[in-house]
A = this chain, B = another copy of it.
Amino acid sequence: MIIVKIGGSVFSDKKGQPENFDEETVRRIAKEIAGFYPDEDFIVVHGGGSFGHPYAKEYGIREGLPEEWEAANRRRIGFTLTHQAMLRANERFIEVFVREGLPAFSVSTSSVFITENGDVAYGDVEVIERLLELKFIPMLFGDVSIDLAKGIEILSGDQIITYLTKMLEPNKVVFLMDVDGIYDGRPGEGSLVQNLTRDEIDGLLERLNCLAAGTDVTGGICNKLAEAKKIAEHSEVWFVNGKVPGRLSGAIRGDGFGTRITG
């Protein structure tokens, strides 16, 4: 089983029109997956792009649920609007996958996972496992979450994958990004890291100055690397460019161009 993460920046321009969706890129990704399915099983997880983020930010979801009733109710409404925006993104993905003959099935992240300060505290993977057995392609997404500490939170697609990897032990996890992989420095400046072992991640995190807090609600490359370190305990991890045809297929076959992290 292979888990494919489709990063927000691959299918949507966060700085563009609200809820813009790069259907052509998603169709090409679906076609690449169709080249391996049903011999290989897949779980797909996508990010928020221009769908969930604007609501999450406007309503301050990451700040949790306040005490005062009116403020709390406004945030509850924001929580539900963020989820609905993510469902609209998810609907677009399902439509494209179905058109390619792939039985992708929407699983609502917030119906299944509970977080504690943003980390998955609990997640029932029973439905996901049975969907896989029946040869569906479960499709999850970054979403809002009920949080044991803060009341409400945002749960990123990357963190879902960390949890799923621990529970389901995939053969491979492929992260699709809008750059060629992990760079030792800024993309375009530092050089692409093509092979990385789990033990080398800490050094890279340090060189990338990952101790400073990010601004992206779901974290940028530092969070990705930190999650990748946890994932690599259980599975091979690839970071490849989702905008370039063939890169996903290369990662699935194992001879692709990008960053490969081994345990």
Q: Which residues of A contact B (CB under 8 A)?
A: 38, 65, 69, 72-73, 76-77, 79-81, 83-84, 87, 91, 94-95, 98, 101, 103-108, 110-112, 114, 122, 124, 126-127, 130-131, 134-136, 146, 151-152
Given A107-B111, A111-B112: 12 more A-B contacts, CB < 8 Å: A65-B134, A79-B136, A80-B98, A80-B104, A83-B106, A111-B111, A112-B127, A114-B126, A114-B130, A124-B126, A127-B146, A131-B146
Indicate how many identical chains form the complex. Answer: 2
Contact B103 A87 (CB under 8 A): no
Given A134-B65, A146-B131, answer yes or no on A106-B80 (Cβ-Cβ < 8 Å). yes
Interface majority SS (helix, strand, loop, mixed), chain A: helix
Given A84-B106, A105-B80, answer yes or no on A122-B126 (Cβ-Cβ < 8 Å). yes
In the complex, what's the smallest C-beta–C-beta distance from A226 to chain B, in angstroms? 26
Contact A108 B106 (CB under 8 A): yes
Given A127-B146, A134-B146, answer yes or no on A94-B84 (Cβ-Cβ < 8 Å). yes
Chosen A-B contacts, 7 in total, with CB atoms closer than 8 Å, are: A76-B134, A77-B103, A83-B105, A108-B111, A112-B112, A124-B124, A124-B126
How many Å lie between the Cα of A131 and that of B136 in the bound state? 29
Contact A152 B134 (CB under 8 A): yes
Given A126-B122, A130-B114, answer yes or no on A91-B87 (Cβ-Cβ < 8 Å). yes
8 Å CB contact of A84 from B73, B91, B127 = B91
Given A87-B87, A94-B84, A98-B81, answer yes or no on A103-B76 (Cβ-Cβ < 8 Å). yes
How many Å lie between the Cα of A80 and that of B102 in the bound state? 10
How many Å lie between the Cα of A124 and that of B130 in the bound state? 15
